[in-house]
Structure 1
């Protein structure tokens, strides 16, 4: 009576003796396996080819996903570059808020955008970007430790947009200098999926930091 062979021991033996199938080449054509793809019986070589094809397809999908992400990141980088160029072209400090807002709308196809600033240098207090700011809005700005991205819950800051009633999703970015907020940048869209709560905010943080640096010259 033949003792049962331990499958693990047999597998380890084949790993330890890779020359086995070289010495017993005829076995490769005799070993038959069931194919999970067709349900038919195939040779060991055919089954190995199926496994390799599956791995190749998985690698193709991963590569396609990486290419897509790279293309999306390159497109975002180009838009960001165009926006910063528009900021650099602003001739005077007072032109910066409008250049910043228009650049965001044009480069990133944002339907609506605006900003408000406080603690400004003399001469800027009557400008559009310094009007209608409540103490609550300033407290809200200082409480934002990260960009807000998601549904519009009738925020005061969103009401600063020209067509606030149509805004379904929004981004609210605190503008900071030395850790203290001196303004808010608001983006709005009628599409509830344009700005979602589960979106990554790394790029939005870069926008907020760049905007803060560009507007620093207007501060007191």
Structure 2
């Protein structure tokens, strides 16, 4: 039987452990230092894998803690909304929730839908036509560093705000209001950030607003 030496060498290079495992069959005595070196290599690989698993576990636990904390904050925010009976109370609940639960104090809240004549709305909640036009085009939260100029004008000039959240309050595919939030940290609201939580928060604000505007029958 012909033996292809190149193939044998290639096999042994690809499977170095094989020769050590079958050394006795061929009456070979591998150099002890080589065995030790190989075993050390295996241990190092196992150690790296273990460290990676530990790192992933720590991250998972950290994410779980972060998610729990975030969920608690949103629940506290929603709890404020449940007790409101007027638009003034609704406005105050959102203000206090943003400040106390999320440390967000730079924001603008405007109602952009038509308001029934028999509903009293605080003047600070009324939106100009240009704001209504902008808000009507929003179908989902928008995060980033540069909002529409008209929305930026709703926020204070000082301190300098670097990142923003534009949050439409949707009810039955209709934009009832818009919440614009600014932050001094440019990395606080980024285009790639997850928006599931703020979307749920917007839905709850919109549901309460629809009731206060007597849109719910």
Same fold (TM over 0.5): yes
Say which is worse superposed, 120-129 or 138-147, in terms of deviation: 120-129
Q: CA deviation at 1:190?
A: 2.5
Q: Does 1:63 align with 2:65?
A: no
Map of 1:186 onto structure 2: 180
Partners of 2:23 and 2:133 in 1: CA distance: 75
Cα root mean square deviation, aligned: 3.4
Give the equivalent residue in structure 2 for 1:6: 8
Deviation at 1:52, TM superposition (A): 0.9
Asked if structure 1 preserves the Cα contact closer than 8 Å seen for 2:135 and 2:175, the reply is yes
Q: Which residue of 1 aligns with 2:125?
A: 130
Structure 2 residue 34 is the aligned partner of structure 1 residue 32: yes
How far apart are 1:179 and its partner, in Å? 0.8
- Secondary structure of the 1:120 match is coil
**Distance change (3 Å), C-alpha of 1:68 and 1:207:** same
Name the SS of the counterpart of 1:157 in structure 2.
Answer: helix
- Shift in alpha-carbon separation, 1:27–1:203, aligned structure 2, 3 A: farther
Correspondence for 1:47: 41
Match of 2:80? Answer: 86
Quote the residue 1:148 is aligned against: 142
TM-score (normalised: structure 1): 0.77
Gaps (5+ residues) in structure 2?
A: none
Q: Decide whether aligned partners of structure 1 residues 29 and 107 sit closer, same or farther in structure 2, where only a CA change above 3 A counts.
A: farther
Equivalent residue for 1:116, pick from 98, 110, 119: 110
Quote the Cα distance in structure 1 between the aligned partners of 2:92 and 2:191: 27
Deviates most, 179-188 or 121-130: 121-130
Give how far 1:113 is off. Answer: 2.5
SS of the counterpart of 2:149? Answer: coil
State the distance in 1 between where 2:205 and 2:56 align.
36
Q: Distance in 1 between the 2:22 and 2:202 partners?
A: 64
Deviation at 1:129, TM superposition (A): 4.3
Q: Secondary structure at the match of 1:43?
A: helix
Per-residue CA deviation, residues 163-209 of structure 1 (Å, 9 max, x unaligned), is 24433321111111211212101112223222222322222212211
Instruction: Give the alignment partner of residue 215 of structure 1, picking from 189, 209, 213.
Output: 209
CA 1:20 to 1:95, structure 2 compared with 1: closer, same or farther past 3 Å? same
The question of 1:97 aligning with 2:91 is answered: yes
For the structure 1 residues 156 and 43, does the alpha-carbon distance in structure 2 shift closer, same or farther, using more than 3 Å as the test?
same
1:40-88 Cα offsets, whole Å, 9 max, x none, are: xx43322221211111111111112212211211111110011111112
Q: 1:126/1:64 Cα in 2 relative to 1: closer, same or farther (>3 Å)?
A: closer
TM-score, normalisation: structure 2: 0.78
- The answer (yes or no) to whether the contact 2:163–2:184 under 8 Å persists in 1 is yes
